[in-house]
Structure 1
Amino acid sequence: MTSTDHTVSDASTLTGWYKSSHSGPSNDDCLEIARGYADVPVRDSKAPRGPALVFEPSAWSAFVSAVKRGEFPTI
């Protein structure tokens, strides 16, 4: 599924994409995650045929936890 740099060049080749239930009604600036893979593919919802980044589960979990703790500044 992934290349050596942890990307998939065309994310539409993967299945099981979903958006967080916390996504707003306008669906702008959303990430989608694909279920059913050993690693965690993540893509921009506005570019379904664009690239996906692929994270090890522990790295994705650490990122989500940091977001929940407010460790990233808001734009």
Structure 2
Amino acid sequence: MTESTTEHLVGDARPDLDLDCATWQSSSRRRPGNVQIAFVDGYIALRDKRDPGVPAVIFSPGEWRAFVLSAREGEFDLT
């Protein structure tokens, strides 16, 4: 596996996505952040800008929506 492909678990229905041509964008519009996302073949890829060689986390559209809504509600806030 190259650094530009994704990892997936055995039995996972996600395809191996080639992220070589992905257009990565910052997760923050107000200021540049270290989290980047890309939309590839109907999926959302998320990676750490500081370490793009680590495989991206891949979300289906439904998983992405649940993740974003949970983040907005503060589910992942550090106390």
1:59 maps to which of 51, 59, 63: 63
TM (norm. structure 1) is 0.67
Structure 1: stretches of 5+ with no match in the other structure: none
**Percent pairwise identity:** 31
Equivalenced residue count is 70
Q: Does 1:43 align with 2:47?
A: yes
Q: Which structure shows the higher helix fraction? A: 1
Structure 2: stretches of 5+ with no match in the other structure: none
Higher relative contact order (CA 8 A, sep 6+): 1
On the 8 A contact 1:7/1:54 being kept in 2, the answer is no
- Structure 2 SS opposite 1:58: helix
TM (norm. structure 2) is 0.64
